[in-house]
A and B are shown apart, each in its own frame.
Chain A
Amino acid sequence: MSQATPPPGRDADPGRRWEPGEPWAPAARSVSLEQLRYHPTLLRLRAARRGPVFTGAAILVVLYVSEILLANEAGGFMSLRLAGPLNVGLALSLLQCVTAACAIGWYARHARRVLDPEAAQVRALLREEGEV
């Protein structure tokens, strides 16, 4: 799959190529979109979409991997009995189900309360800009 049209020098005008999603033509208002990136509403939305959500995802992955590593390297610790047949390893597995449930619930709420309203504001902003 050789690239049929290696653009001379830098990337050629993106608007000239076939575009998968047509309605939002990037070339038409790319300058204003680039400026819009630093609009306060967008900065707020970006912070809300990235910071807490990436942190949540990272926590889930770290918990998951650390349980595997603990099971591999600290079998004695994982075998400590807590109550009846329940040991530390089984308790940690259950804990992961609980954190997963918390993450689903938290994100659904966060998206409804913070992300959706902010995104609606950005869309309103874009409509204004588009008319100007």
Chain B
Amino acid sequence: MTAAQTLAAGAGFPVFVIFVTFVCCALFLAILVTTHRVTPGDFYIGDGRLTPLQNGIAIFGVYLSAATLFGSPGRIALTGFDGIGYLLGPIVGMVLVLLLIAEPYHSTGRYTIGDNLGRRLRTRSVHVAAGLATLVICVVYVIAQLVGAGALAAPITGLRGDGARALMVCSLGLLVILYAAIGGMRATTLIQVFKGVIMLGGGAALTVLVMSRVGWDPAALLSRAANHSGLGDGFLRPGVSHGNQLVGELDSLSVQLSVCIGAVGMPHVLMRLRTVPTARSARRSVEITAWLSLAFCLMVGVIGFGAAALLGRNTIVADNGTGNTAVLMLAESLGAVFVTMISCIAFTTILAVVSGLVLTASAALAHDIYQVGIMNGKASEKSELLVARGTVVLVGLTATVLSLYAQAEGISFLVGLALAVAGSAVLPALLYTMFWSRFTTRGALWSTYGGLIFSVLLVVFSPAVSGTPAALLPDQDFAYFPLGNPAVVSIPLGFLLGWLGSVLDPRRPDAARYAATEISVLADV
């Protein structure tokens, strides 16, 4: 009997009641926080009126997704030391956002990444490029999150099977669409703050329980984890996940680069930076996020080793080969009430992250592509807002349908793809725009389209899509690229293309607009 089935038997009904109550409250609040006269600025960024504390918690809520909550502890429980990189990556990534991105992004931006690039480059072409990259990242990431949501069907509704999973994905997808289309950024912020708080609380509760079981001794936690892993000291050393082969090592380097560098360029995190009034408050928000991420990732480490120590590695593998159920199993062993708690946190996490992503995708479509790309900035605010709400529905429905189709497939590579595109198509152009005087439009287009196309192509020709039993198309074999994650190639390539395109551009960079951008970056004017 798997953990999900056990849970379904024991904790189904009460969780379902809590879940329905929660959904009703969430929708009611979404309508409540909506102001009567909504403008695009209000819809995308809540008019930039949040306080740093609210925004810091909300960024934390949207930054760490279900992958950190379930994937990372599972990986640590299965591979020990090799799993730690998945926690260090997000920590270092958020510190990089604080140092390099937060203030300059706020002072040179408006709603979308295209606004930052368009301030000093040829406005229309860079808006469209950044909009397309943002759209791809968000849709791919939403699919990954919604497919993960299918796994929550059993613990929340008590129903099993493909139908229940599909029902769960559909209802979550529709809920997000309603929520984001009605409430925009204000409602999304609300759910993200709520999620950030309960995720910290839940993480702290599990951490305290795990530590109390091992006598508050970190050394005992590690020793017990190593003993129960069946691998002895090898569990605490590098090499459990990929042995000693070059391809495995490169792949792990690639994944870890994507969770650190790629996370810096995620558009749904960047969009939140504009929800506060000044660059200074953007910095203070990210400061709060960085401390919270550091604390939470340390807790996740304890939970991961705790799962290995208290349950044993073999029990976890027997339930689910990826380790994604390790946290649920640990919660179950600590008491039924924790299963309810973890299920609610997981549901809120997916709702918060997906609504943030859908909102960001709709801003990319309505602002970058419709308003600037098609209408050349001449569309009225009212029509842009209408398009924004329409695209929330469009993106949400597309992603929901695609995730229903992807339900049974091996799609774990999608998170890596989204992060690789963010690191290679968004981040280089953004950093060059804010800090490099000789950056030109051609550099921006080369790095954005180049990073986007290469990341996608490398994944299409990777073993994640074909050639292996676990792949998306196991019967075919066109896996010419050996790595499952493209980041190690595509991120340097994105930076290289941005530099090369600028150097080879016959047009000279616009010195006057760079001077204005630089003053903005330095002094927030």
Contact = CB atoms under 8 A, between A and B. Distances in A.
B92 A79 contact: no
Contacts of B122: 3, 11
B476 interface: no
B253 A11 contact: no
Contact of A97 (B88, B89, B110, B373): B88
Contact of B81 (A21, A37, A69, A90): A90
A111 to B, nearest CB: 6
Contacts of B91: 96-97, 100
Contact of B233 (A3, A69, A79, A100): A79
Interface in B280-312: 280, 283, 287, 290-291, 294, 297-298
B516 A116 contact: no
Contact of B294 (A36, A42, A60, A104): A104
B160 interface: no
Nearest to B513: A14
Interface string A96-132: 1100110110011001000010010011001000000
Contacts of B424: none
A96 to B, nearest CB: 5
B83 to A, nearest CB: 10
A96 B510 contact: no
SS class, residues of chain B in contact with chain A: helix
B92 A89 contact: no
Contacts of B110: 20-21
A97 B298 contact: yes
Contacts of B252: 68, 72
Contact of A3 (B98, B124, B219): B124
Contacts of A60: 92, 95-96, 99
Looking at chain A, what size class is its interface with the partner chain? 35 or more
Give the one of B92, B125, B520 with max A CB within 10 A. Answer: B92
B88 A96 contact: yes
A90 B523 contact: no
A124 to B, nearest CB: 10
Interface string A30-69: 1101101100001001100110011011001100110111
A31 B219 contact: no
B119 A64 contact: no
B115 A21 contact: yes
Interface string B211-246: 000000001001100100000010011110000100
B290 A104 contact: yes
Contact of A26 (B81, B287, B516): B516
B238 A71 contact: yes
Give the one of B89, B95, B294, B518 with max A CB within 10 A. Answer: B95
Interface residues of B, number: 73
Interface in B113-137: 115, 118-119, 122-125, 128-129
A20 B516 CA distance: 13
B100 A116 contact: no
A72 B124 CA distance: 44
Contacts of B378: 18
A54 B297 CA distance: 25
Nearest to A101: B294
A85 B219 contact: yes
B522 A33 contact: no
Given A61-B96, A85-B236, A30 B123 contact: no
Nearest to B91: A100
Contacts of A104: 95, 98, 287, 290-291, 294
B508 A10 contact: yes
Nearest 9 pairs between A and B by C-beta? A18-B377, A30-B512, A71-B238, A122-B523, A85-B222, A26-B516, A1-B128, A72-B249, A20-B115
Interface of A: 1, 3-4, 10-11, 14, 17-21, 24, 26-27, 30-31, 33-34, 36-37, 42, 45-46, 49-50, 53-54, 56-57, 60-61, 64-65, 67-69, 71-73, 75, 78-79, 83-87, 89-90, 93, 96-97, 100-101, 103-104, 107-108, 111, 116, 119, 122-123, 126
Interface of B: 81-82, 84-85, 88-89, 91-92, 95-96, 98-100, 103, 108-110, 115, 118-119, 122-125, 128-129, 219, 222-223, 226, 233, 236-239, 244, 249, 252-253, 256-257, 260-261, 280, 283, 287, 290-291, 294, 297-298, 372-373, 376-378, 435, 507-508, 510-513, 515-516, 518-525
11 contacts: A18-B123, A26-B513, A46-B518, A49-B522, A50-B435, A56-B99, A68-B256, A96-B88, A101-B294, A103-B98, A116-B280
Given A45-B523, A53-B99, A71-B81, 13 more contacts: A1-B125, A1-B373, A18-B372, A21-B108, A21-B115, A34-B515, A37-B519, A60-B95, A64-B88, A68-B253, A72-B238, A79-B236, A123-B524
